[in-house]
């Protein structure tokens, strides 16, 4: 049903996935949960076609498999509040750093285009280091 998801819809769906509390995570459950937030039921195909949503799904699914859904419980609310504040600050710093790197990437992309550098040249693997080791 939902072929095109807006940026706002994608962010909302990613937040649903990252905040998933149940031990069973599936595309169908995400579609159903997303309907409450975005106002329409997206298809599994439209969700899995989006790289950011797919990556969030894989990450959350791996976390559930690895340690279950057990969240570390702080000993009191003050510690929990401090931890939440610290993590929110860290998250903001990482968002700013990511934005800076994306901006730098756009500059590099333009300069590569301007100087005629081809995408395949940019994607070439790094040269192997010859350390002249004897066997």
Q: pLDDT class for 110, splitting at 50, 70, 90?
A: very high
* 39: in domain: yes
Same domain, 10 and 57: yes
Residues 6+ apart with CB under 8 A from 20: 30, 60, 64
Question: Which residues form the domain of 84?
Answer: 75-122
State the DSSP code for 20.
-
Per the structure, the count of domains in the chain is 2
Instruction: Round to whole Å and give the CA distance between 18 and 13.
Output: 9
Q: Is the pLDDT of residue 1 over 70?
A: no
pTM for the whole structure:
0.56
Q: Is the pLDDT of residue 69 over 70?
A: no
Same domain assignment for residues 47 and 97:
no
């Amino acid at each position: 049903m939902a072929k095109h998801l807006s940026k706002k819809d994608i962010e909302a769906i990613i937040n649903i996935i990252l905040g998933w509390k149940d031990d069973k995570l599936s595309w169908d459950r995400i579609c159903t949960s997303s309907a409450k937030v975005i106002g329409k039921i997206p298809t599994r195909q439209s969700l899995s076609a989006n790289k950011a949503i797919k990556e969030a799904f894989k990450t959350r699914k791996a976390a559930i498999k690895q340690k279950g859904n057990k969240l570390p419980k702080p000993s009191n609310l003050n510690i929990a509040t401090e931890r939440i504040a610290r993590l929110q600050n860290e998250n903001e710093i990482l968002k700013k750093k990511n934005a800076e790197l994306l901006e730098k990437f756009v500059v590099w992309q333009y300069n590569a285009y301007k100087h005629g550098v081809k995408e395949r040249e940019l994607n070439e693997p790094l040269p192997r280091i010859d350390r002249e080791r004897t066997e």
